[in-house]
Structure 1
Amino acid sequence: MFEVLKNPGSKIQSDHYRMPYHPLGNGFVDRENELRRLHDILVKGKNAVVEDVGMVIGTGGIGKTQLAIEYVYSYASDYPGGIFWIDAELGLPVMISQISEAAELPIDTTRETGDQLHDVWAHLNRCGPALLVLDNFPDDDPLDPWLPTTPVVHVLVTTRRRDLASYSRIPLDFMTLKEGTELLNKGERRFGEDTDELVKTLGGLPLALKLARNHLNVRRELTVADLIKEIAAKGENAALESYAKLYTNELSSEHIKEIATVFQISYEHASDFAKRVLQVLAFLAPVPVPRRLLKKIFAKEVGKNGDDYLADALDELCNTRALAEYDQDKDPLPHRLVAGFVREITKDKKQVCNRIDAALNDEMHRIEDEGDTAVYRDLEKVEPHAAFATESGRIDAETIIDLLTMLMRYNQQKGLYRLAKAYGQKALSTSETTLEPDHPSIAIRQSNLAMVLRSLGELNEARDLLRKALATWEKAFEPGHSSIAIRQSNLALVLKDLGEIEEARDLLRKACQTFLNKFGDDHPYTKIVKRNIDSLG
C-alpha cells in the first residue's frame, strides 16, 4: 500500500524522470534490510526482481511497490541518468512512450518496436547510470524483451510471479508481531500489547493492518480488542465466501476471511458517496484515475454539490480510510485487492459500468475537437482506462469499436503509429467478427487503419485495405456520391506513394468531378484534389 506524504523530504535530482509516487518517509516500517540488499544487487548486477513470498505464492498487499518507491528515493542520487517508473501491465509500447516522453527523446514511432527500444537504450547509455522500475510486471509476459541492452541502466521489477528464477530476487515476507505493531502505531493513536493478537488475526499483511489502523483512528472509542471481536462477529456471508474463493491463490488461506472482513468493515463505514466513488475506481484500470474523468462520471452529483463534494470523498478514501491512495497529481488508485473486494460486493455492477463507459466514450471523443488544446495532456491518463474497458467484456461491440477507433486516432495524432496500428487492427477485427460483410463500419475501419499503415510505410497493406473499403462504398452508394470520392482520393494517395501514377490520376479525376458537381470549384475538397492531381506531374 503506498501513499503520498504531505511534505516528502526526498527529491529526485535528475532532470529526466518519471516517478508518480512519493515515499512514506517515517511511515515506512522496517524494510531497511531489504532496501540495502536491493541496492547491493543493483550495484553489483543490474537487474533485481522484488517478489512476494508467503504461504501461498502471489500474495498481494505485501508491500512490493512501496519497497520500490522507497528505493527510488533512498538511492536517487545514484542514478543521474534518469529514473523511469513504468506501469508494466500496460505493455511494452507504453514503456517506450513513457521513457521517451520523460527523457525528451525523439523516437521514430514508424519503426518496429525492437528498433525503437534500441534507440531508447542507446540514448540512456549516453546519459549515465539510470534506473528502470517495471511495476506490477504481467503474469504471462517474458521479461527479456523488456530489459535494456546497456549495462548503465539498472532494472527493478515488482511482480507476484515466482518463475523469474534467473534473476536476483528479494522475497518479502509477512510482517512480524513487532513490525505489525510498529505499523499500527504509525497513526494518530498508540496501542499496547494487545496489537499482537490483531497482527496474528490479519496474518501480518501490511495492507490489512493499515486499513485496521485507519479504522481505529476514525473510531476512537474502539479498542483493538473491540475490532478483533467485530472481525470475528461478522461471520460467514456470501460476499466474503465468494471473495475468498476468487483470491485463494493471492492471500493466506488461514487469514483470508479475516482480511476480507477488514476490507468490508472499512468499506461499510465510509460515507455513501465515498462508497460509490470507490465502486467506480474498482471497475476501472489498475492505474490512477484522473479527476476530470471522475467529475464526468459523477457530473450530476458534482453539479449539485460542487467540486469539494468529490474532493472530500477522495480524501476520505485516500487519507482517512486508506482504501485508495493518491499519485503525485492527487489522482486516486485503490489497491488491487481492495478493488477486487469492492467489485465482488457491488450489486448494481451494470449501472456503475454504464456510467463509466459513457464517460470514457465522451472523453475519448474529445480527440475530434481540433480546438481542444488540452486534449493530449488530459487523455494521457484516460487512455489506459478506455483500453481496459475494451477488454473488460462488459460493453457492446459497437462501443468497443468506437473506443478502439478513438484510441487509434489519439495515438495516430500523437505520432505513436505502432500503438495506433494495434488499436486500428483491433477495431477492424471486432467489426469483421460482429458485423455483416460489406457493412459500412468495416469499410470505415479499413480506411482508418490504412491511413496509419501509410504513415508506417506499409503501403501494400494500406492499398489493399483501401481497395476493399472503396468496393464497399461503391456497393452502398450511387456513382458520383461524395463518400465514394473521398475513398477514391485516399486510395490515390497510397497509389502515388507506390508509384502507380496512372491509376492514382484516374481516381483523383473521378473524385474531382464528383466534388465539382456536389460542392463547386471553391470547396476545400475540390481544391485539395486539384492540388493532388497537379502533384502527379
Structure 2
Amino acid sequence: MSEPSPPSVNRYGINVEGGQNVISGNTFNLSLPPLEPTIDGPPNNLKVYGLTRDRFVGREAELARLHGLLQTQTQVAIAGVSGLGGVGKSELALQYAREHLGDYPGGVVWLRAAAACGELVAFAQPRWFAQVDFTQLDTPEKQAAFCQAHWPKTADDPPGRVLLILDDVTDFAAQVQGFPVVGDRFRVLFTSREQWLNPESRLDLGLLKPTDALALLSNFVGESRIAAEQATAEKLCEWLGYLPLGLELVGSYLSADPELSLAKMQQRLEQKRLAAKALTQVPATTTAERGVAAAFELSWQVLSQEAQRLAVLLGCFGAAPVLWAWVQGCLPNDDEEELEAARAELVRLSLLERLGNGQYGLHPLIREFFAQKSTDRPDALVLKTAVVEELLKATESISDTMTIDQVQALGNVIPHAQAVAEWTDWTELGSPLARLNSYLFLLYHAQGLFGLAETWAMRSLEIRERVLGADHPDTATSLNNLASLYSSQGRYEAAEPLYRRSLEIRERVLGADHPHTALSLNNLAELSSSQG
C-alpha cells in the first residue's frame, strides 16, 4: 500500500490546496465556514474619512480605467496609481474601493505598504484564524501567505475575489515584490510616487482640469462664495497648480472660516507660500496625513545628493518649461551621465515631467518647494549665479530694434528671465541682475510696450544705484535707457534731466572723449532738436 501524497505547499511552507495545513512540519485540520457578507457588504477596513462621493470630482475616467486594469489581468493584477505627492493617489484608491466593494466579495483590505504583512494578519487572524498558533510561522510573510491560502470562500460566488490595497509604496522590491500573493483570487492595487510598472499596468494620475479644480473648491466653500469672487477663485486654483491636496486643504480652511474672503486667502498664500497655515494644517476628516510641503518632503528625503542639487537648480528657473540645454550650461563641469541619472530620479518620483523636445516641467508648488530648499544649501549662490549667467547668454541677442521672428524666438526664455530679474539678491548678484533687467527693457521697448519697458528700466536703475553707486558708468547707462524711453513717448521734460545726469557721470568718470560720453551728448542734442 502506497504512502499518501503530502499536501502541496508553496515556498512559505503553506498548503495552497486547502484541507490539511502544513506549518513548519506540523499538520493540522482547518475547516472554515463560507464567508458571508456583513451588513456593510464584504469584509473590509476602509477608512470612514476622506471625500464624500459628491465631492470627488474630475476622476471618472481614472476610476473606470483602474477598474479595467484590475479586472483584465489573468493572474495577479498589480495596478499602480502613481503621481507626485498630493495628486490624490490614496483618495482615488479609497474612492475606487468604496465604489467597487461589491466586485470583491472576498473582502477589501487597506494596508500601509511599509507594514503590509503584519496589517493583513491583524485583519484576518481575529476574524478567521483565532485557533491558529501563528508563532509557528516565523516571518510576517509566512503569516500573510497562510492567511491568503486559507482565506474563506464566499457562499454564492466561490471563491470570491479579494482586493488588497498597498498604500504609499516607497520600496518596490521589498514592499510589492516581497509581498506574498497566494492564488489568483487576490488583486493588488498599490499607490506610489514612483513609476515602477510598465504603462500597461500603471495608472499615472495627473492634475485636475481647471474646471474640476474649481468644482472641488466649490464643494468645500459653497457656490455662493465662489460666485461672489469668481476671478479670485480661478486664480486661487491656478496658484495651487490644480493640485487636489492643496485645493482640499485650502477649501477646508476656508470652510472653517466663512468670513475669510478668497482674496485674503490668496494674499496670505502669496505672502507665506508653502508655510501658510492653510497648506500645513491637515483636518482629521481628510485622507491626507500631511500638508503640501510635508508631502513633498517624503520624496525629497529619498533623493540622492546629486538629484537634490539638480532640483534646487531647477527651482531657480521660472514657472515655464526648462530647456535641458540651459541646465547643462549651468553645470558645464558635471559628468553628463551622472546629471542624466539625477534627472531620472526626479522623473521617477514624479517631481519632474518630461515634455519632449528637450524640455522639462515643474509643478508650481514643487518649484516653490525646490526654491525654498536653496536656503539650506551652501552652494545656493553658486547655482543662482549659474542660472543668471545662462539666462544672460540666452537673452544677449536682445536689442532696441528687433523683428517679430526674433521676439518669438525668445518666447521660451522670457518667463524665466522675468522671474530671475525680480530676485532681490542684489548684494551678491546685483550687476548681472541689472543687466537682465536692461535686456527686458530693450525687449519691450523694441515692441512699443512702453509700460513694461519702464518697469524694467526703473528696476535696473534702482539696482545699479544701490549696488554700484550713483556715479557708476553702468548707472549712467540705466539713466540713458530710461531717458530714451521717455523721449520716444514725447515725455521730453522727464527725459532731459536723466540725459543730463547720464552725461555728467560719463564726463566725470569716463572723460570727455569717451564714446559713451559722445553718445550722451548726441542723445541730449537729439532731444533738444525734437523740442525745437
What TM-score do the two structures reach when normalised by structure 2? 0.46
TM-score of the pair, normalised by structure 1: 0.46
Rg larger for = 2
